[in-house]
Structure 1
Amino acid sequence: MNKFLTIGVILLTLLITSYSCKRVETKAEQRIKVGVFDKNGDSPWCIADAMEALKIDPKIDCEVIRASQIVSDEILDFDAIVFPGGSGRSETMSLGESGIERVVSLVKDKGIAVVGICAGAYIMTNTPDYPCLQLTGYKAIDIEHDHRGHGLAKFSLTEEGQKIFPELKDREISFCQYYEGPVLVSAEDAVEEISLGTMLSDVHTVEGSPANMTNNRPFIVANSIGKGKVASFVGHPECTPGMRWMLPRIVRWATNSEMVSYPESVVRPDFFSNEIIYTKDIQDLQSKYYNNLSGSKEEKLAAIDKVIEMACWSSKKWIPGMLRDKDADVRSKASIALIKLERTDAIPDLEMAVLNEKNDDCKEQLSKSLIELKNILGKNRK
C-alpha cells in the first residue's frame, strides 16, 4: 500500500475512533460529588446552610446522606463527605462504631475527603474520652464548658491558609459566625497538623465559662492522612454572608480539584467589619428586633436592616416569611435582604412571591431580586 495512503487510513481511523468513543472529561470539567451528613434529622439549618454554600460552586453536586449510605458501597461514588454543625456526639452515635471505622477507612484507604464544621470539627479530632474519628492532629479541650457562647468572631489566616483562600491574604482580620465550636490544641500524636486560620475572639459569655480559651486557637485546620485529606472549621463560614464560598473552596482543596475563583456576589469579606460577641445586652437587642419583624411597617423595615447588621443567627429563618407580608414595601425590602444574606434556599418562596405579586413596583423588585439570588448558584452563572 502507498505510504501516503497508509497514513491517511490511520488518521481516518483515529478520527472515527475519537468520535465513537466516550469523551473523557478534563480535570476542569470533572464534577465533585459531595454528601452532607444528616444524623437522621439533626440540625436542619446547619444541613441546609452547608448544602446551599456548596451550590455556589458550579462543579459541585451535593446531596444529603445518612449513615446507611456511608456503610454501603453507595458512598464510593462520592468524592467528599461534609459533617455539618449540630451535635458531635449525635453524629458519631448515628454512625455507630462500624460507621466510624468506615469513615476512617474511606479517608485513609479510598482517598475520600472529609470536612467538619463546628460539631463536625469535634468528631474529626483525637480527643480522649470523646467519640471521635482521630483524623486530625488536634484534640478538643475544655469540653466541660462546651456551651461557652457565640457571635461573629474574628480570625486571621496563616500562610498556609492564604494559599487556599487568596482572596483573604491581604486582610489581617476576617469575620465568621462562631457557635460553641471546639477549642483545639495539638494532640501530640503522629497525625499531621496544619493550621489554616487562627481565632482571635475570646468568647465566654455563658456564666462559668473561662476567659482566654478560644482566642489564639486554631480556627481552620487541615491535613493529609493516608490517601485522603481532612479539613475542619471551628466556626460557621457556610452561614456567614460574604464567607460562604469558603466551604466549597476547602472541598476543592480536600478533593485535589482545581482551585477556581468565585464571583463578587459571594466573595464579600467586607460585609462585616466588626466583631459581635453575643453578650446579654446584644442578645436583648437581637430579641427586640426579632419581635419588631412582626411589628408595625416602620418597625419591620428598620428591623430587617438591624438583624442583618447585628449578624443575628436566626435572621435566615424569619426573612423569607416576610415575602408574604401585607405591605409591598416590606415584601420588597425582604427580597433585597435575602440577597444580602445569600439565602438561596428561599428561591422557591421568592418565585411564588413574584407570581402572586399585584403591586407593579414591588413585582419589579421581587423579579430583580430573584434573578440576583439565582445567580449566586453556580449552575445559573455563565
Structure 2
Amino acid sequence: MGVPIQLRSAGSTGFLCRAPSFIGLLLIFLFSGAAGGEIATGSLAPGTKWETPYHLIEGSRPGPTVLVTGGLHGNEPAGSLAAEQILHWPILRGRLVVLPRANQPGLRKGTRHLPDVARQEADLNRNFPRTDGKNEASSLIGKEIWELAQKFKPDWLIDLHEGYHFHKIQSKSVGSTILVSQPVGPGTRSVVGGMLASVNSTVEDPDKHFVPLRGTANGSLTRAAAERLGANSLILETTTREQAISLRTRQHRLMLRSIFQDMGMLGEGAPSMTRTRGEASLRVALYDGQGAGESGPRNLQEVMKTIPRSLSWRIGPSDIIEGALSHFDVVIFPGGSGSKQAAALGIEGRKEVRRFVEKGGGFVGICAGAYLAAANYSWSLGICDYNTFCEAREIPGVGRKSMWYRGPSATVTIELTPVGQEILGYAGEPFKVRYHNGPIVSPAGMDEVPDYEVLAWFRSEVSRYETQKGTMVNTPAIVGGKFGKGRVLSISPHPESSRDLSLLVTRAIHWAAQLEPSK
C-alpha cells in the first residue's frame, strides 16, 4: 500500500484514505471548505502512453463512495467532458472518485478502441473480469482501472458513454438510456427514476426521452463492479446523433446531479455547471449550440490548446440561461448562423450574454457571432455599435436578394491597423484569411454604446452580385469595442481556420478577457 493521504475540509475531522501502490500520486490541491471538499489528483499507468489522471474529492461528512468514469470509448467525448466538469462540484459528504479520461490515446484520436493492442483487448469496456472467469482484467490500462475500483470499493460506479441513435427510435442503439447492471441494489430503481425525470424534463421530443434498460455487457466495468464489488452500477448513455457536445455533456451532468442530490452529496440548489477549482488563468466558454457550425468550435478548441494554463468548455443555450457564463472570463460565439444562435438563446439567454459582458466579461464573435453582436437586428445583442450590410436589393433577372450573402467560402486580404497590430500581435503587412459571408459593418450611432475601434480592414472583396461590388473592400474586417465594463471583439472572416493565424485568435481572446497575452 502507498503512503496515507490526509485530506481535511474546514470544520471536519478529516478522512484517511490510502493511495493504491500502483498509482503515482502527482499532486494534492487543498481548498477551503467553501470549495466543497478537498481534491487530490493521482495518475494511473504513470510513464506509459496510457497514463491518465484520476481525482479524489472528500466531503466534510461521511457518506457513500462514488466512482465516476468517462472516456472508456475514445469516440464518446461527452462523458469524458462531463466527468471533468463534475470535479468542481461542491461535494458535501462521502467520497467522489473521478476517472475522466480512461482511454487517453483513443480520446486524442477520436477512436472507440485502445490503439495498438491485441484485438481481444481493443475494447477497453470488455477488459474487466467476466462473470464466469477469474477476478482479473486485461490490458495494462484495464488492470490499472480495475485495481483502482477494488481499492476504493465504491458503493456506486457510474460509467459515462454515448450511443449513436436514440433508443426509442432505433432499438439497436443504447443512446439515451440508463443501463442498470445486475444484481440491482436496494434503492436503485427510485434513484434511476429520479435521474430519468431530471433529464427528460429538458427533452421536448418524447421519442428522444431517456429510458431504463436492464443489464450490461459481460466484461464491462459496471458489470464486474456489480458482481465482484457489490457496487450499484450504472451506464449513462447520451446520443451523439444531431446533438451538440455541450447538450450531451449537460445531460450527463443533470443525471449525475440528480443521483448526487438523492445521496445528499450535493445541495438541492446546486447548479449543473460550477466555476472551476484550480489555477486556470483564462476560462473560455465556447458556444456550440444551435446556430454554431461544426468546424468553428473544433478549430477554436485547437487554438485554446496553445494557451498555457487555460480552460475551455463548450456550452449551450440552457447553460447560459442557467447563469453558467459567470464562471468564465470570455464567451466565444463561432461561425454558423447568427439568427439561429439568437433564436436558440431566446430572450433570457440574450439577456444573460449582455449582462455577462456589461459586468466585465469578454465577448468574441466570429462571422455569425459578429452578426449576433450587431445593433441592427431585432434579435441581435446590440453590444457593439455597428450595423451590418444586409439590405435586400433588386438583382436584374434574379429578383430581390439580401446583400449579406456573397457566395461560397473564399480567401480575402485584410490589413491590421496600428491599434490592431498592437492588440493582435501581427506586423502591418496585409495577409490572407478565409471568408464566408461575415458581416460588412458600418457605424450604428447608438448613444448608449461607445464607438468601435477598427482593428483590421478588408483590402479585397468577395461579391456574388454586381450590386455588391465595392461594398466590402476598405470596410472593417475586425473591430473592438466596449459594452459596460466588458469588451467586445468582432471578427468578420475566419482566422481560426488557419493554424498560421492562431496567434491572432489567442490575442483576441486575451484582449477580450482584459488579460495580458501569454508569453
* TM-score bin, normalised by smaller chain: 0.5 to 0.7
Amino acid at match of 1:189: M
Partner of 1:74: 324
Partner of 2:55: none
Partner deviation per Cα, 1:106-129 (whole Å, 9 max, x = no partner): 1102x11110000100110111x4
For the residues of structure 2 that align with 1:186 and 1:224, how far apart are their CA atoms?
14
For the residues of structure 2 that align with 1:88 and 1:73, how far apart are their CA atoms?
21
Partner of 1:177: 434
Alignment equivalent of 1:112, drawn from 361, 372, 376: 361
Shift of 1:248: 1.7
Shift of 1:134: 0.5
For the residues of structure 1 that align with 2:378 and 2:474, how far apart are their CA atoms?
23
Contact 2:441 2:476 in 1 (8 A): yes
Q: Secondary structure at the match of 1:71?
A: helix
1:131 aligns with 2:379: yes
TM-score normalised to structure 2 length: 0.43
Contact 2:291 2:340 in 1 (8 A): no
**Aligned CA-pair RMSD:** 2.1
Q: Secondary structure at the match of 1:245?
A: helix
Contact 2:291 2:344 in 1 (8 A): no
State the identity as a percent: 28
Amino acid at match of 1:135: I
Alignment equivalent of 1:162, drawn from 421, 436, 439: 421
Q: Secondary structure at the match of 1:91?
A: helix
Shift of 1:213: 1.2
Residues 228/49 of structure 1: CA separation in 2 closer, same or farther (3 Å cut): same
Shift of 1:189: 1.6
For the residues of structure 2 that align with 1:245 and 1:130, how far apart are their CA atoms?
34
Partner deviation per Cα, 1:263-305 (whole Å, 9 max, x = no partner): xxxxxxxxxxxxxxxxxxxxxxxxxxxxxxxxxxxxxxxxxxx
Shift of 1:95: 0.4
For the residues of structure 2 that align with 1:214 and 1:126, how far apart are their CA atoms?
19
Contact 2:434 2:497 in 1 (8 A): yes
Q: Secondary structure at the match of 2:511?
A: helix
Contact 1:238 1:245 in 2 (8 A): no
Shift of 1:73: 3.1
Shift of 1:208: 5.3
Partner of 2:288: 38
Partner deviation per Cα, 1:17-72 (whole Å, 9 max, x = no partner): xxx9979xxxxx75211111122474111221122122221232112100111111
Considering fraction of residues, name the structure with more helix. Answer: 1
Which ranges in structure 1 are unaligned for 5 or more consecutive residues?
Answer: 1-19, 24-28, 262-382
Q: Secondary structure at the match of 1:188?
A: coil
Contact 2:291 2:337 in 1 (8 A): no
Partner deviation per Cα, 1:307-347 (whole Å, 9 max, x = no partner): xxxxxxxxxxxxxxxxxxxxxxxxxxxxxxxxxxxxxxxxx
Shift of 1:195: 0.8
Alignment equivalent of 1:250, drawn from 504, 508, 518: 508
Larger Cα-atom Rg: 2
Alignment equivalent of 1:194, drawn from 428, 446, 453: 453
| Count of matched residue positions in the alignment of Structure 1 and Structure 2 | 232
Residues 72/242 of structure 1: CA separation in 2 closer, same or farther (3 Å cut): same
For the residues of structure 2 that align with 1:76 and 1:60, how far apart are their CA atoms?
16
Partner of 1:153: 412
For the residues of structure 1 that align with 2:348 and 2:467, how far apart are their CA atoms?
35
Q: Secondary structure at the match of 1:99?
A: helix
Higher RCO (CA < 8 A, seq sep 6+): 1
* Range 140-149 or range 235-244, more displaced: 140-149
Shift of 1:221: 0.6
For the residues of structure 2 that align with 1:60 and 1:209, how far apart are their CA atoms?
45
Contact 2:303 2:496 in 1 (8 A): yes
For the residues of structure 2 that align with 1:22 and 1:93, how far apart are their CA atoms?
40
TM-score normalised to structure 1 length: 0.57
Partner of 2:472: 214
Residues 198/22 of structure 1: CA separation in 2 closer, same or farther (3 Å cut): same
Contact 1:39 1:90 in 2 (8 A): no
Amino acid at match of 2:345: L
For the residues of structure 2 that align with 1:209 and 1:65, how far apart are their CA atoms?
39
Considering fraction of residues, name the structure with more strand. Answer: 2
